[in-house]
Amino acid sequence: MAFDIEMIKKVYSQYDERIAAARQVVNKPLTLAEKILYAHLWDGNATQAYERGSSYVDFAPDRVAMQDATAQMALLQFMQAGRAKVAVPSTVHCDHLIQARDGAEQDLTRAKNESSEVFNFLSSVSNKYGIGFWKPGAGIIHQVVLENYAFPGGMMIGTDSHTVNAGGLGMVAIGVGGADACDVMAGLPWELKFPKLIGVKLTGKLSGWAAPKDVILKVAGILTVKGGTGAIVEYFGEGAESLSCTGKGTICNMGAEIGATTSTFGYDASMERYLRATGRADVADAANEIKAHLTADPEVYANPEQYFDQLIEIDLSELEPSLNGPFTPDLYTPVSRMREEAEKNGWPLKVEWGLIGSCTNSSYEDLSRAASIAKQAIDKGLVTKAEFGINPGSEQVRYTADRDGLLKTFEELNATIFTNACGPCIGMWDRAGADKQEKNTIVHSFNRNFAKRADGNPNTYAFVTSPEMVAAIAISGDLGFNPVTDTLINKNGEAVKLDPPTGEELPSKGFDVEDPGYQAPAADGSGVQVDVSPTSDRLQLLEPFPAWEGTDLTGLKLLIKAKGKCTTDHISMAGPWLKYRGHLDNISNNMLIGAVNYFNDKTDLVKNQLTGEYGPVPATQRAYKASGIGSIVVGDENYGEGSSREHAAMEPRHLGVRAVLVKSFARIHETNLKKQGMLALTFANKDDYEKIQENDTIDILGLTTFAPGKSLTLVLHHIDGSQEEIVVNHTYNAQQIEWFKAGGALNIIRANQAK
Ligand code: F3S
């Protein structure tokens, strides 16, 4: 699968010098996270210490990973960069677009038919530009990355929030939007606010029913869904070393549920075992040579309170198995208190489904521990009360688990083995009867359990727990069942008790696979045609945006003055629109349809100044565009917060909005607007927001002398013939002003490639 040992060796060869430079500027012992960050500075050796939580820093990630849903726009944009190949090793993984219903074989065939144009596009674009392509059925992105590409001390970005899973193999791996992935593949630096650092010291050792999942469920209970925001969580201590590599992956994976930038562990024997078992002995050998750099300096772990911004301590020996939920992954309930809590809160005790899988918990170890419970149920004459669904994490895991009889054990309990893909974890689950919206309970080993996430039913109470607990609770059919203390009645009427799970960290006979589902890119992709039908409604090749016309912008119409919260979801809604995320014109029909119009408190209803009629935002904007008239969007505080979805910046650009003027921006969205060649402006005086009237025509003056730190002037022409001038600010640096002038950052990259 062509993991790039030469690239890894190159990264390692720089570590000595870069860590020495970092030590000099930071002037104290370094955490692991700091070492990895300072070893990946875009400008090489550190020349200054960065302020945690405030400095914006350019980094040079080693890899990019993309899943099929988000890869579409990332790659359509990348094609605009004019490069022959990606600048860093990159992969695409087809895992999100496969619905779980009947079982692996039928589901995969159906998905290939339904989404063939997307898969063909991703396959051909990968082939052309030197990107590794993992076909539908090959596995879930983060499991495949852990098995093939993650390496200790590396830095990776991925277009999926659970990219952080690779921290289990000692990486700093961070989820980003498609625009960031595009930049890195195009050879540009990647900017990140230097994170704060949270240390989690693990003492003791897991035993009995407790699993790595219980560590992160506990951490989520302590920190809540917001507690990790802007921070890297670094796990350490004897307890950390006692966990398997895939167990560490589970813990890092759910760091996304506490909002953490990422999580990581120092390189240790478990990682070495995993690297060797997955055919990467040379990576293990290379890592062993720079071992001291792949963990924090000893002083850090000896006195962690001095080096982390926050410290948490967990004794694994005392950890109880737990279930988090419903509806939020930070509502922590140890199994011993579950019956009481469920009764108190009216959570249905009858469990309908137990689902094992997702990128969080679908390793060989996970399946083997859950299978050990399933096997006991068979041997002890128990009849499963709930239905069982299994999504193996990769074809390698599935094949090996099948060879070793694990899947057969589940099948004896009538489990449905779904495709090696996300399936129910991302709502791609055609669950029979879900449309009746009945109140019911499911347990799963996934990471997220927001309302409607798995089956679209808002009344499904989903609880997150370890795979072995999913197995036990599904067998009992009772949310309040505590396998540590309780017995079950078998078909002979006898009371039987389940023994604690046993499993194998790695398969004793080694991993095996016939066809992993990987397509290597063409050595020379210049002759490869990218497969996009001109009549497709899901995919559309992008046209470069036009350059700035070189004059002030006059006669702009106010499109909408948005009131209150306006997140990227209000600007570019998800749900059914996700289908069009590879087709800019079609998805633009959702532009700002969630934003509240200041003048009538309604969504998706604005005045068309050309006709005086009220209509949907996208249609109104298309009318302005058709008449050759630019427009301006006005917004409130923290405009564009939420996800890094690049569509929220591309849609207004595509439909002819020229500027977005707000009280304040969410930084990522502001940068995305700049990258697309838009004007992102803020009121110098926030009260001027009140001066914007529904029928305003607006001029933006000062663009011919556009410069960093220099304000611009807006002239508001009101309908009564009066006019007002207001001052607006911006944060464009010299480079970003060039983006504006060229009509977008990609236009500059393409022009540079052509030189
Ligand atoms: Fe897929 Fe769910 Fe993970 S959607 S990538 S299995 S979080």
Query: Could you tell me if 238 and 202 are in contact, meaning their C-beta atoms sit under 8 angstroms apart?
Result: yes
Is 160 in the active site? Answer: yes
Question: Catalytic one among 52, 448, 622, 653?
Answer: 448
| Encoded tokens for 41 | 């500075």
Three-state secondary structure call for residue 726: strand
> Which of the listed residues 70, 92, 93, 95 should we mutate to test ligand 1's pocket, taking the one with most ligand atoms within 8 A of CB?
95
Is 162 in the active site? Answer: no
- Which atom of ligand 1 is nearest to 360's Cα? 3
Q: How far is the CA of 359 from the centre of ligand 1 (A)?
A: 5
pLDDT at 728 over 80: yes
State the Cα–Cα distance between residues 223 and 314, nearest whole angstrom.
13
- Which atom of ligand 1 is nearest to 447's Cα? 7
Atom 2 of ligand 1 has which residue's CA nearest to it? 425
Three-state secondary structure call for residue 590: helix
Which residues, in sequence order, are bridge partners of residue 19?
none
Question: Catalytic one among 62, 160, 330, 366?
Answer: 160
Question: Catalytic one among 62, 95, 183, 268?
Answer: 95
* 462-512: pLDDT as tens digits: 999 999 999 999 999 999 999 999 999 999 999 999 999 999 999 999 999
List Cβ neighbours of 573 (8 Å cut-off, separation of 6 or more): 590, 593, 594
Treating both helix axes as pointing N-terminal to C-terminal, what angle do 745-754 and 734-742 enclose, rounded to 10 degrees? 90
Centre a 10 Å sphere on the Cβ of residue 79 and count the other Cβ atoms it contains.
Answer: 18
Q: Which long-range contacts (CB under 8 A, 24 or more apart) does 338-346 make?
A: 338/479, 338/480, 338/482, 339/479, 339/480, 339/482, 342/479, 342/480, 343/480
Query: Could you tell me if 223 and 254 are in contact, meaning their C-beta atoms sit under 8 angstroms apart?
Result: no
State the Cα–Cα distance between residues 46 and 20, nearest whole angstrom.
9
pLDDT at 238 over 70: yes
Residue 538 falls in which region: left (phi positive, over 0), alpha (psi -120 to 50) or beta = alpha
Q: DSSP letters of 346-367?
A: T---BEEEEEE-TTTS-SHHHH
Is 95 in the active site? Answer: yes
Is 180 in the active site? Answer: no
Q: Which of 201, 186, 157, 216 is nearest to 78 (CA)?
A: 186
Q: Which of 29, 263, 90, 66 is nearest to 169 (CA)?
A: 263
pLDDT at 755 over 90: no
Weakest-pLDDT range from 40-44, 243-247, 563-567 = 563-567
**Residue 437 φ then ψ, to 5°:** 55, 40
State the Cα–Cα distance between residues 289 and 283, nearest whole angstrom.
10
List Cβ neighbours of 507 (8 Å cut-off, separation of 6 or more): 277, 364, 368, 400, 404
Atom 4 of ligand 1 has which residue's CA nearest to it? 426
Centre a 10 Å sphere on the Cβ of residue 528 and count the other Cβ atoms it contains.
Answer: 15
Q: Which of 312, 604, 598, 365 is nearest to 501 (CA)?
A: 365
Q: Which of 239, 215, 191, 473 is nearest to 335 (CA)?
A: 473
Q: How far is the CA of 137 from the centre of ligand 1 (A)?
A: 14
Among 377-386, 567-576, 667-676, top mean pLDDT goes to 377-386
Q: How far is the CA of 540 from the centre of ligand 1 (A)?
A: 26
Which residues, in sequence order, are bridge partners of residue 665?
639
- Which atom of ligand 1 is nearest to 357's Cα? 6
Query: Could you tell me if 419 and 104 are in contact, meaning their C-beta atoms sit under 8 angstroms apart?
Result: yes
Q: Which CATH architecture has domain 5-317?
A: 2-Layer Sandwich (3.30)
Q: How far is the CA of 173 from the centre of ligand 1 (A)?
A: 15
Q: Which of 282, 1, 18 is nearest to 151 (CA)?
A: 282
Q: Which of 555, 388, 356, 592 is nearest to 476 (CA)?
A: 388
Q: How far is the CA of 102 from the centre of ligand 1 (A)?
A: 19
Q: 508 exposed, middle or buried (CB, 10 Å; 0-12, 13-18, 19+)? A: exposed
Mean pLDDT of 570-589: 91
Is 486 in the active site? Answer: no
Question: Catalytic one among 643, 653, 717, 730?
Answer: 643
The structural domains of the chain, with segments of one domain joined by +, span 5-317, 321-495, 553-754
Q: How far is the CA of 142 from the centre of ligand 1 (A)?
A: 8
State the Cα–Cα distance between residues 451 and 431, nearest whole angstrom.
15
| Encoded tokens for 154 | 């590396």
**Residue 725 φ then ψ, to 5°:** -110, 135
Question: Catalytic one among 18, 63, 83, 96?
Answer: 96
Q: How far is the CA of 509 from the centre of ligand 1 (A)?
A: 28
pLDDT of residue 3: 65
Q: Which of 144, 140, 594, 524 is nearest to 358 (CA)?
A: 140
Q: 638 exposed, middle or buried (CB, 10 Å; 0-12, 13-18, 19+)? A: middle
Question: Catalytic one among 101, 293, 431, 645?
Answer: 645
Q: How far is the CA of 332 from the centre of ligand 1 (A)?
A: 21
State the Cα–Cα distance between residues 663 and 728, nearest whole angstrom.
10
> Which of the listed residues 143, 446, 452 should we mutate to test ligand 1's pocket, taking the one with most ligand atoms within 8 A of CB?
446
Query: Could you tell me if 175 and 160 are in contact, meaning their C-beta atoms sit under 8 angstroms apart?
Result: yes
HSE at residue 686, side-chain half, CA atoms within 13 A, is 7
Q: What is the DSSP letter of 514?
A: S
Helices (H), 191-291: 212-223, 238-241, 245-253, 269-277, 281-289
pLDDT at 430 over 70: yes
Mean pLDDT of 62-87: 96
Class for the domain spanning 321-495:
alpha beta
Q: How far is the CA of 172 from the centre of ligand 1 (A)?
A: 19
| Encoded tokens for 553 | 């912008």
List Cβ neighbours of 20 (8 Å cut-off, separation of 6 or more): none
Three-state secondary structure call for residue 306: helix
- Which atom of ligand 1 is nearest to 67's Cα? 5
Query: Could you tell me if 477 and 351 are in contact, meaning their C-beta atoms sit under 8 angstroms apart?
Result: yes
Which residue did the predictor score with more confidence, 428 or 517?
A: 517
State the Cα–Cα distance between residues 398 and 270, nearest whole angstrom.
21
- Which atom of ligand 1 is nearest to 160's Cα? 5
HSE at residue 620, side-chain half, CA atoms within 13 A, is 25
Q: How far is the CA of 236 from the centre of ligand 1 (A)?
A: 26
Centre a 10 Å sphere on the Cβ of residue 683 and count the other Cβ atoms it contains.
Answer: 21
Helices and strands in the chain: count of H runs, count of E runs: 25, 31
CA angle 191, 196, 201 (to 5 degrees): 135
* 180-189: pLDDT as tens digits: 999 999 999 9
Residues with CB under 6 A from ligand 1: 95-96, 140-142, 160, 162, 358-359, 422, 425-426, 446-447
Q: 381 exposed, middle or buried (CB, 10 Å; 0-12, 13-18, 19+)? A: middle
> Which of the listed residues 68, 96, 358, 452 should we mutate to test ligand 1's pocket, taking the one with most ligand atoms within 8 A of CB?
358
List Cβ neighbours of 289 (8 Å cut-off, separation of 6 or more): 12
* 143-194: pLDDT as tens digits: 999 999 999 999 999 999 999 999 999 999 999 989 899 999 999 999 999 9
State the Cα–Cα distance between residues 353 and 544, nearest whole angstrom.
48
Three-state secondary structure call for residue 706: coil
* 361-385: pLDDT as tens digits: 999 999 999 999 999 999 999 999 9
CA angle 28, 220, 153 (to 5 degrees): 40
| Encoded tokens for 711 | 């304000």
> Which of the listed residues 134, 397, 425, 444 should we mutate to test ligand 1's pocket, taking the one with most ligand atoms within 8 A of CB?
425
pLDDT of residue 1: 53
What's the predicted TM-score (pTM) here? 0.93
Class for the domain spanning 553-754:
alpha beta
Q: Which long-range contacts (CB under 8 A, 24 or more apart) does 107-116 make?
A: 107/418, 107/419, 107/423, 108/136, 108/137, 108/419, 111/136, 111/419, 112/136, 115/68
In whole numbers, what is the pLDDT of the chain averaged over residues? 96
Hey, do 5-317 and 553-754 end up sharing a CATH topology, with the first three levels equal?
no
- Residue 574 pLDDT class (50, 70, 90 cuts): confident
Type of residue numbered 711: S
State the Cα–Cα distance between residues 671 and 668, nearest whole angstrom.
5
Type of residue numbered 585: D
Is 276 in the active site? Answer: no
CA distances from 492 to 383, 489, 496 (A): 10, 8, 10
Mean pLDDT of 732-744: 96
Atom 5 of ligand 1 has which residue's CA nearest to it? 359
* 251-264: pLDDT as tens digits: 999 999 998 999 99
Mean pLDDT of 388-393: 95
- Which atom of ligand 1 is nearest to 141's Cα? 5
> Which of the listed residues 165, 359, 361 should we mutate to test ligand 1's pocket, taking the one with most ligand atoms within 8 A of CB?
359
In angstroms and rounded to an integer, the radius of gyration of the C-alpha atoms of the chain is 27
